[in-house]
Amino acid sequence: MALSSERLFDSLGHFGRFQACVYFASVFQAMSCGIHYLASVFMAVTPNFVCGFPGNVSSVLFHNSSASSIEDIWTLWTSTENYIVVQLENGEIWELDQCSRSKREVSLDLAYEYKGNKSVFPCSDGFLYDDTKWKSTVVTQWDLVCDREWLAKLIQPTFMLGVLIGAVIFGDIADRLGRQRVIWFTSAGQFVFGIAVAFTFDYYSFVVVRFLLAMVSSGYLVVAFVYVTEFVGIKARTWASMHVHAFFAMGIMVVALVGFLVRTWWVYQIFLSIATLPFVLCCWMLPETPFWLLSEERYEDAQKVIDTMARWNKVSTPCKVSELCSVQQDDLSSGRIGDDDTSSTKKHNILDLFCNWQIARRTITVWLIWFTGSLGYYVFSLSSVSLGGNEYLNLFLIGAVELPCYIIACVAMDKLGRRNTLIPFLILSALICVLIMFIPQDFNILIILANMAGKFSIGVAFGLIYLYTAELYPTIVRSLAVGSGSMMCRVGSVVAPFCVYLRSVWIFMPLVGVNQDLGNVLGGDDDKMCIKNVTCFAFHLQEKIDYFLPLYKLTGAVVPQTHSVVTKIAADTEEWVGTYLFCLCILEMASPKVAVVGAGVIGLSTALCITETCPSCSVAVLSDQFSPNTTSDVAAGMLIPHTYPDTPIHRQKQWFKETFTYLFAISNSAEASEAGIHLVFGWQVFKSTPKEALPFWSDIVLGFRAMSEAELLKFPQHQFGQAFTTLKCDCPPYLLWLEKRLKAAGAQMYTRKVADLWELHSEYDIVVNCAGMGAHQLVGDKQLFPVRGQVLKVHAPWVKQFIRDGDGLTYIYPGIHRVTLGGTREKGSWSLSPDAGTTKDIFDRCCSLEPSLQGAQGMEVKVGLRPSRQCVRVQREVLSQGGVELPVVHNYGHGAGGFSVHRGTAIEAAQLVEECISALQGSSSRAKL
Ligand code: FAD
């Protein structure tokens, strides 16, 4: 979606009746994704069990308690280390362990302790399961215990692998075949595969069908996310996209509810799958998104959807597809795409996310957060059922806790900004992880509360990262960045189940906390590290190695010998990798975010100066127009200063000098032709002697002198003249060169109209206003007025010298390819339409100065509004609302001389930005950074 998307929503409403219906229908189905992602927590649970025995039991003994059946013993069963003694009707006495059984050689009387000989047998008669809580699970159905336990542990990771693959495949298919078809297919697939899982006949068919279910579930989620954001306007997009996650969370609550009511796994699975039925029955009514239709050039279909939207939203005059296309075309032709656009004129690859140090650092940070967020999200969710207490209530609460967290995330993002919301919640979740490790295992309630707090904080961070990633990257690699981040997220979700299984492999940290002297714990290498830095959560490599123990076993690795060595290496590596990456993460988020509004010569050069003076800043240029559609593109670009009456001359001179020096260096470099900068000699002629014989800039331009008598012969109507060499910028090439430099410095470019500077306060620390004439409306500056200028661009390569009439009204400025003929100065006129009479007048005036121009070819007429003021506004200001402050630096009002002083005012503005940064760091607003 480009700028056109906002035009569409401005016309049809950002979240009208139509969008509400489409939104709630689509997100309702997102619930089923939450259901299937978490269904295994009850379906694949392993109840208490012991080895089966041959024959009928006559009595059962467990420590001092006896019973006539094993069912009565389960309530006494406390540890998997215990065994149960059974006496059979034939008199045999068996000791039943979890994965083996022993027959006592002497079976005279039934006692729990036995010192005599016994023969050990494998569990060839199957297993006896405690069915007081779950009548049947897939573990009990296919005996996924003991040497088949690893099969049970692979159920959730294989599902998550399906999620990973589904997201990639269906994301791509949705771009090719359309969102609507993928939504139909994946929601029908969820129903069909969901029911099919309940009828699988063995473990392998169960895993395969669930893998397919995972693919369609994640496919649905990814495409539904895109689908709803393509239907919702920017004003409602943050809330709408965040709350897709809320419906996923409701799915988790449904799992808890159904798990509580139904205790047979396949009935439970059928009930869960039926939840998707209402949507499957009506999803065929959902329309395709107009943006996908436009991208496929299906204009009539797109218009039909727009008309339907208009009818539902009661809009009488909907916008036309042709209007959207023209804007898109403009954006595409400039190679620049809007804020939410996913297309690009050039194919980019993953290496573009590492194209320079700043972007690479950002990518690593973002990936880290995606991975950590997803890992944390699933670890907290999946492990909630094994925390003790009521597992159904635990899971329900772990889902419910997510609902307020998206509301808080939306509000906090708006009030504090993305980064200031993300950092505290990430740190909080890490601290909670550390805390949980030290809570004694008996303190169930405390552990559950800490788990919920952890889920809440990671939920805020995880929910936000989608949107934040999209905003952190330049448009051209944005979808790539979100896609790669989401891939890291899937990796986190594949790893998460292993982390949860660690509970049975690795001794609980809380127990270590209670059984050992705290000083010893802190003295231990691994734990000291955990206390010392919160990166334990994100980068606990040792944990990961432990988590992978089941896999090591699976592959037959000699775990005991290698584990200690690997653990040591991992612990050391983790310490520095974790600390380093965490610092990067904090540093990245702590670098001040500066928004520069405006992409004319002033905005681009100011942004470039900021990247140079403050390399740690993250700079974004936001503008509703870029080259070639700015006033700066119309300008002749000559370095002959205009005088601002209310700006001290020494300041103007300084600005001009800095600009001249900067451009002169470029003109002497290999980049001169690409940047469109060149030296040009010429004359400024006067009909009468000028007021000042020497302008203030005469010692800055080269070879300034009075014109000779011989030279003046060329201008018979003029009596006096000055000759000098100055610089000229060919405007569009220079603007493109500035953009290129900015991108190389890691700055981002967004096509965005800023209605009010305050709207940027939540996303940026400092705003720089370089909106040119746009500042009239943006900051309500009544001192700013337009001075309309019309120029002609002609092809006349024989004209090599510039000629300027001393009044500045008529001029001939030869550029590298074209000659600019000017001009007009119409104060207060806002008209951007070329005037034919003025065109003739300009041409005649120029021909009277340089008659050879009669032979000029290929005339192009351009109009621009000079953003004029009595003085240029380069100034600091602090906006304040409800106690929140936003530092602003203004740099606009350059009138007829923007090119002549752009670098000088940019340097001054960049210094003001530095001052703002120092003020922010030193003041109570430090937290903002
Ligand atoms: P602009 O180029 O207008 O840039 C403003 C930017 O802000 C644009 O990108 C715009 O889209 C953006 N913007 C505005 N409002 C918003 C908003 N609300 N949200 C987001 N973005 C917004 N100067 C010289 O030094 N030498 C010359 O020879 C010369 N010749 C000229 C000839 C003509 C005919 C004209 C018209 C001007 C000439 N000038 C010349 C003056 C020079 O062009 C201007 O001083 C200079 O272009 C001003 O640059 P700017 O970046 O402030 O404004």
Distance 499 CA to ligand 1 centre (A): 57
Helix (H) / strand (E) containing 888: strand 884-892
Task: Please name the residue that has the structure tokens 């002169």.
Answer: 664
Distance 892 CA to ligand 1 centre (A): 9
Pocket residue to mutate for ligand 1, from 826, 899, 901, 903, most atoms within 8 A of Cβ:
899
CB 526 within 8 Å of CB 542: yes
Q: What is the pTM of this model?
A: 0.56
Helices (H), 681-730: 709-712
User: pLDDT per residue over 362-374, tens digit each?
Assistant: 888 888 888 888 8
Ligand 1 lined by 637 (C-beta under 6 Å):
yes
166 vs 773 pLDDT, higher one: 773
How far apart, in Å, are the Cα atoms of 521 and each of 210, 226, 286, 511, 572?
42, 48, 58, 11, 17
Ligand 1 lined by 620 (C-beta under 6 Å):
no
Ligand 1 lined by 869 (C-beta under 6 Å):
no
Q: Average of pLDDT values for 266-273?
A: 93
CB 677 within 8 Å of CB 727: yes
Q: For residue 728, list its beta bridge partners.
A: 638, 678
Atom of ligand 1 at shortest range from CA of 602: 51
CB 690 within 8 Å of CB 720: yes
Q: Give the DSSP letter of residue 638.
A: B
Please give the Cα distance from 382 to 387 (Å, whole number): 10
CB 127 within 8 Å of CB 147: no
Atom of ligand 1 at shortest range from CA of 771: 7
Phi, psi of 132 (to 5 degrees): -70, -35
Long-range contacts for 902-905 (Cβ within 8 Å, ≥24 apart)? 902/601, 902/602, 902/605, 902/659, 903/605, 903/609, 903/655, 903/658, 903/659, 903/662, 903/663, 904/654, 904/655, 904/656, 904/657, 904/658, 904/659, 905/602, 905/606, 905/655, 905/872, 905/874
468 vs 926 pLDDT, higher one: 468
CA nearest neighbour of 451 among 415, 515, 519, 500: 500
Residue 5 has pLDDT above 70, yes or no: no
- For ligand 1, atom 36, which residue shows the shortest CA distance? 864
Please state whether beta strands 811-814 and 819-822 pair in parallel, antiparallel, or not at all (unpaired): antiparallel
CA nearest neighbour of 532 among 439, 441, 431: 431
- For ligand 1, atom 53, which residue shows the shortest CA distance? 772
Atom of ligand 1 at shortest range from CA of 641: 25
Ligand 1 lined by 630 (C-beta under 6 Å):
yes
Across the chain, mean pLDDT equals 81
Distance 10 CA to ligand 1 centre (A): 27
Distance 774 CA to ligand 1 centre (A): 9
User: pLDDT per residue over 789-837, tens digit each?
Assistant: 999 999 999 999 999 998 889 999 999 889 999 989 999 999 999 999 9
Please state whether beta strands 593-597 and 618-623 pair in parallel, antiparallel, or not at all (unpaired): parallel
DSSP letters for 782-793: TT-EEEEEEEEE
pLDDT at 156: 86
Residue 582 has pLDDT above 70, yes or no: no
Query: CA torsion, points 97, 102, 106, 110, in degrees to nearest 10?
Result: 20
Ligand 1 lined by 786 (C-beta under 6 Å):
no
- At CA 213, angle to CA 211 and CA 214, rounded to 5? 65
297 vs 396 pLDDT, higher one: 396
Q: Interhelix angle for 559-590 vs 525-532, to 10°?
A: 10
- For ligand 1, atom 4, which residue shows the shortest CA distance? 600
Which of 433-442, 516-525, 630-639, 720-729 has the weakest average pLDDT?
516-525
Structure confidence at residue 222 as a pLDDT band (50, 70, 90) = confident
Residue 503 has pLDDT above 60, yes or no: no
User: pLDDT per residue over 558-573, tens digit each?
Assistant: 333 333 333 333 333 3
Both tokens of residue 262? 């139904």
For residue 89, the one-letter residue type is: E
Ligand 1 lined by 735 (C-beta under 6 Å):
no
- For ligand 1, atom 46, which residue shows the shortest CA distance? 898
Distance 476 CA to ligand 1 centre (A): 25
Distance 149 CA to ligand 1 centre (A): 70
- For ligand 1, atom 23, which residue shows the shortest CA distance? 897
Atom of ligand 1 at shortest range from CA of 638: 28
How far apart, in Å, are the Cα atoms of 528 and each of 31, 165, 325, 481, 524?
41, 38, 60, 35, 6
User: pLDDT per residue over 71-92, tens digit each?
Assistant: 777 877 766 667 888 888 888 8
Distance 445 CA to ligand 1 centre (A): 64
Structure confidence at residue 519 as a pLDDT band (50, 70, 90) = very low
Ligand 1 lined by 623 (C-beta under 6 Å):
yes
Atom of ligand 1 at shortest range from CA of 897: 25
CB 19 within 8 Å of CB 232: yes
Q: Average of pLDDT values for 101-113?
A: 80
Q: Average of pLDDT values for 404-417?
A: 82
CA 298 to chain centre: 30
Helix (H, G, I), strand (E, B) or coil at 51: strand
Both tokens of residue 275? 């939840």
pLDDT at 542: 33
Write the CB contacts of 730 (distance below 8 Å, at least 6 apart in sequence): 637, 676, 677, 678, 815, 816, 817, 818
How many other C-beta atoms lie within 10 A of the C-beta of residue 53? 22
Residue 331 — left, alpha, or beta (φ > 0 → left; ψ -120 to 50 → alpha)? Answer: alpha
CB 799 within 8 Å of CB 683: no
